[in-house]
Homo-oligomer: A and B are copies of this chain.
């Protein structure tokens, strides 16, 4: 196992300590938790946005804490949902009286634990609403999921719900716009190599030297098909076509694009993918409003990518373009 770690059992805590030391003015760790909260929380009368999930997807989710985005990120163990009590702690820490909005990726454990935490918080008089993100068009139901998985499209939900909250939106308005994002965002990924959870010490699956997998999840969950590695253009085409089959775009529609690296993909390759995706969308008469290329929702050192398209209306454009001070998503 080629990793830069100390004790494989303490990677999440070590990472969080290193994260807080890098951003001591903007982030804090709630004592005896793995919950990262903005330093100035709670913000009175602002709806607070909380997300999180298993670790190993960095910069998701703690890198998205900042003005105009998340108020807290609940960091589970590696690829493992955070516990309800950790989520509950995060809700209590950020509630400024206007309620707390949860952005949950659609994994059975996450949904269950965030919902239990919501009930605990509501019992204490905190208003909690949520959205479940299920942007991955690859497969219905999967290793850890009933329905579709939540992957990189989640970042657009963070951004837009966060901007709505920062602009003074009520919790109902934040929920409404977050649901609009979920209804209009689709993603699909692929992998060239597996990744290794430090405590496991060996890869979560294997791929042959010339093999790729289309539709792989961000925990290495099975995709649709394994086949010989295709060209960047063919990969871009396959993923984008599958997305475009699932959501109707008309000529003239505005779209935001995310070309996401899974952790070990050189940025060069992501830009090569973007060339083709851009051509495909432009050929269909779509207007590309903004393109994000980089590692946004990773799977440790997996080599591979995902493509995300978000159909935009004027409200979503304005909120996507609004300022964000989050370290991993500055606008």
Residues in chain A within 8 A of chain B (CB atoms)? 2-6, 11, 14-19, 21-23, 55-56, 58-59, 63, 192-193, 209, 212, 229, 231-233, 235, 257, 259, 263-276, 278-279, 288, 291-293, 295, 298, 300-301, 303, 305, 330
Contact = CB atoms under 8 A, between A and B. Distances in A.
Contact of A21 (B18, B23, B278, B301): B278
Contacts of A55: 268
25 contacts: A2-B209, A3-B192, A3-B269, A4-B192, A4-B232, A5-B232, A5-B272, A11-B268, A14-B232, A14-B272, A15-B271, A17-B271, A18-B271, A19-B293, A21-B291, A22-B271, A22-B274, A56-B266, A56-B268, A58-B271, A59-B267, A263-B264, A266-B301, A267-B295, A295-B295
Contact of A268 (B22, B192, B273, B300): B300
Contact of A267 (B3, B16, B58): B58
B15 A264 contact: no
Contacts of A4: 192, 232, 235, 265, 269-270, 272-273, 305
Contact of A6 (B232, B263, B298): B232
Residue among A14, A193, A231, A288 with the most chain B CB within 10 A?
A14
Interface of A is mostly: mixed
A192 B278 contact: no
A271 B235 CA distance: 32
A8 to B, nearest CB: 10
Residue among A22, A231, A303 with the most chain B CB within 10 A?
A22
Contacts of A56: 266, 268
A192 B301 CA distance: 12
A198 to B, nearest CB: 9
A21 B264 contact: no
A138 to B, nearest CB: 17
A14 B279 CA distance: 12
B268 A58 contact: yes
Given A5-B269, A21-B288, 10 more contacts: A2-B193, A4-B235, A6-B233, A11-B268, A14-B232, A14-B275, A18-B276, A21-B274, A21-B278, A58-B268
B18 A273 contact: yes
Q: Which 5 A-B pairs have the closest CB atoms?
A: A18-B271, A264-B264, A18-B275, A21-B278, A18-B274
